[in-house]
Amino acid sequence: MHEPDYDVAGKTAIVTGASQGIGKAIAETLAASGANVAICSRAQERVDPVAEAIEEDAAGSALAVECNVRERAQVEAFVEATVEEFGGVDVLVNNAGGEFVAPFEDISPNGWNAILDLNLTGTVHCTQVAGEVMREDDGGHVVNLSSVNGQHAAPGESHYGAAKAAIIRLTETLAVEWADDGIRVNCVAPGLIQTPGVAETLGIDSEEMPPREQADRRIGHTEEIADVVQFLVSPAASFMTGETVTVKGVPKPGNSMSDGLGLE
Ligand SMILES: NC(=O)c1ccc[n+]([C@@H]2O[C@H](COP(=O)([O-])OP(=O)(O)OC[C@H]3O[C@@H](n4cnc5c(N)ncnc54)[C@H](OP(=O)(O)O)[C@@H]3O)[C@@H](O)[C@H]2O)c1
């Protein structure tokens, strides 16, 4: 009988933006399954506790590094530290990202550049630098975080939507360009997920989260994204590359992420 293989034990995974939210859940999930994780955020003191908890509770080890993904030199140092600690890179999860909500006409050139830099150029920096290590070794996996806002229009999200849409096309292009290097490149497009970032930018904070079993009309749990990422970087997804997996349940009426989806 065939059994699906979701094994990531012994792999080395870089997860960017892992001090909280979805990135933290991805790092914890992969580490719980035995992967060694190298995690970063812009502040060492915010990412250290995540690594300490992983070291204490998970099967895998953790390395925490202060790294702003918008800064190429910091990304190079982060990847170098990962290779030094764990001997290579098998998985890169480009999770660091964020936004502010504003009508297009009110977005300043600085605001526009900040969102494109963080979400798109940060992904480019990490993918080029970590990708070079994977291409020189035996290949690996890249998972990019897009958003339903990269797939459908939503008011106030022109900068973020443009960056997240570009990430989907970048995923498709790299899947083709790096196929011969043994690198699978996929993307996850979450709907509304309860994270500190969402609480801050959209003012949505569900203290009592509905259970995962309730598939419709609710906000998502961070682990529901992490589980899909683990699938994508596991042998079970061996015939998937260049894909964007949408993970959104059925959005709750009134959620800004569901605006423009025509579901209300
Ligand atoms: N939550 C959702 O509903 C949702 C939906 C669709 C897509 N997404 C995407 O999923 C990803 C995670 O979202 P989230 O809601 O978990 O975000 P979040 O709660 O705001 O957390 C963002 C993480 O990224 C880090 N970060 C921010 N800027 C960084 C930079 N320049 N360099 C390195 N790290 C940086 C933050 O750490 P520091 O502040 O310590 O640097 C934090 O760990 C993002 O790409 C987001 O666009 C989220």
Query: What pLDDT digit, counting tens, does each position of 146-164 carry?
Result: 999 999 999 999 999 999 9
Residue 6 within any structural domain of the chain:
no
* CATH code assigned at 251: 3.40.50.720
Residue 110 within any structural domain of the chain:
yes
| pLDDT (tens digit per residue) in 72-117 | 999 999 999 999 999 999 999 999 999 999 999 999 999 999 999 9
Residue 235 within any structural domain of the chain:
yes
User: How much distance in Å is there from the Cα of 114 to the middle of ligand 1?
Assistant: 14
Characterize the bridge pairing of strands 12-15 and 91-94. Answer: parallel
Catalytic residue (one of 63, 130, 145, 160): 160
User: 225: which 2 tokens?
Assistant: 């994204």
Instruction: Ligand 1 pocket test: pick from 95, 144, 202 the residue with the most ligand atoms within 8 Å of its Cβ.
Output: 95
Q: Cite the DSSP H helix spans in the chain.
A: 21-32, 44-57, 72-86, 109-116, 122-136, 158-177, 196-202, 222-232
User: How much distance in Å is there from the Cα of 145 to the middle of ligand 1?
Assistant: 9
Give the pocket of ligand 1 (CB within 6 Å).
16-23, 40-43, 46, 67-70, 95-98, 118, 122, 145, 147, 190, 192-193, 195-198
Which residues, given as ranges, of the chain have pLDDT below 50? 258-264
Residue 263 within any structural domain of the chain:
no
- Is 6 one of the annotated active-site residues of the chain? no
| Backbone conformation region of residue 43, classed left if phi is above 0, alpha if psi is from -120 to 50, else beta | beta
Q: How far apart are CA 257 and CA 264, in angstroms?
A: 11
Q: The domain containing residue 154 runs over which residues?
A: 12-258
Domains in the chain: how many in total? 1
Residue 239 within any structural domain of the chain:
yes
Residue 1 within any structural domain of the chain:
no
Residue 7 within any structural domain of the chain:
no
